[in-house]
Amino acid sequence: MFLKAFLGLYLRDLRVLSRELMPFLLRVGMQPLLFLFVFTFVMPRMSTGNPMMSGMQAGAGGAAGFGTVLLPGLMAVASMFSGIAAVALPLSTEFGITREIDDRVMCPVPVWAVAVEKICFSALQSMAGALLVIPMAIWIPATPVYPHIHNWLLFVLVLVMASLLAGALGLAIGSNVKPQQIGLIFSIVVIPITFLGCVYYPWGLLDHIRWLQLAVLLNPIVYMSEGLRAALTPGVKHMPYGYILLALVVSFVLLGQLGLRGFMKRVIS
C-alpha cells in the first residue's frame, strides 16, 4: 500500500508537469540558453578585430575551450534551479492560507514520505534540466562543443546525487522560509551561491585567492559543478572524485534533515 500510494503521488505530479511542459522548459532552459548565447556565440564574433575581446577569449581558452569549461557548470545551475523551483515554489503555495498541503498528507503514507516524494520528483526535473543543456551546448556556440562523457559511472552518480541535493535544498527553503519571503531568498541566497559555485570557472583556478577557494567549499553547487566537470572534461583541473561524492552525500543528508524537520513542523501544527 505504501508503494502504491507513493507512486500515486509521483504520477499525480508527473501528470501536472506534463500539462505545464512549456513553462517547465522555459524555466529550466532560459538561463543556460542566455549564457551560452552571450559567452560562446556573441562574444567570439565581437572578438574579430577587437583586441580587448580577443584577449578575453584567449584568457578563457577560446570559444570552444570556454564553452567546454562552462558546460558542466551550466548543467549544475540548471539542475539546482529546477530542483529548487520544483519544491520550494509549490510549497510556498501549499503552506499558504489555503493549506493545500493537507490534501497531500491525507494520502495513506507517513507525513515524511510526502516530503521524500517531493525530493524524488524534483530530482527527475533536475536531471531533465541538466541534460537539456547538452544539446544547447552543441547547437549554440560559435565553435560547437561536443560533450564526451569520459566516466559514465561518475557522471550518473554525480547527476543523480546533484539532482537529489537540489530537491533537498528546495525542501529546506520551502519548509523553513515564509511564503512571502521566497523571492528574497532567491536574491540573497540562490543567486550568490550560483556565482560562487565554480559554475563559470574551475575550483582549482581559485588557488591564487586561497581564502575564497576555502570559503566556497561550504557551497553545495561547487561539488555539483566539479563532479560534472570531472566526468565531462577530465582534462580541466578539478577536485578529486572521492571528495566530490562525499561532499554531495553529506550535503544531501544535512539539507534533507533540515528540510524534513521543517516540513514536519509546518504540517503537524
What residues does each domain of the chain span?
A: 2-267
User: Among 136-145, 184-193, 196-205, where is mean pLDDT lowest?
Assistant: 136-145
Q: Is residue 39 very low, low, confident or very high in pLDDT (cuts 50, 70, 90)?
A: low
Mean per-residue pLDDT over the chain, rounded? 80
CA distance 197 to 216: 7
Q: Quickly list DSSP for 119-163.
A: HHHHHHHHHHHHHHHHHHHHHSSSS------S-HHHHHHHHHHHH
Q: Which residue in 130, 166, 165, 170 sits closest to 147, CA to CA?
A: 130
Residues 139-163 have a mean pLDDT of: 82
Query: What is residue 200's three-state secondary structure?
Result: coil
Cα gap 263→266, rounded to integer Å: 5
**pLDDT beyond 60 at 161:** yes
Tell me the whole-structure pTM to 2 decimals: 0.81
Percent of the chain with pLDDT over 90: 20
Closest alpha carbon to 244 in 258, 263, 225: 225
Which sign does the torsion angle of CA 12, 16, 19, 23 carry? negative
Q: Estimate to the nearest angstrom the gap between the alpha carbon of 72 and the chain centroid.
A: 11
Report the chain's terminal Cα–Cα distance, integer Å. Answer: 26
The continuous run of DSSP H or E covering 45 comes out as: helix 43-46
Q: What is the pLDDT of residue 163?
A: 93
Q: Please enumerate in sequence order all residues whose Cβ is within 8 A of that of 130, keeping only pairs 6 or more positions apart, or say none.
A: 75, 76, 78, 79, 82, 159, 162, 163, 228
Asked if residues 256 and 171 have their Cβ atoms less than 8 Å apart, the reply is yes
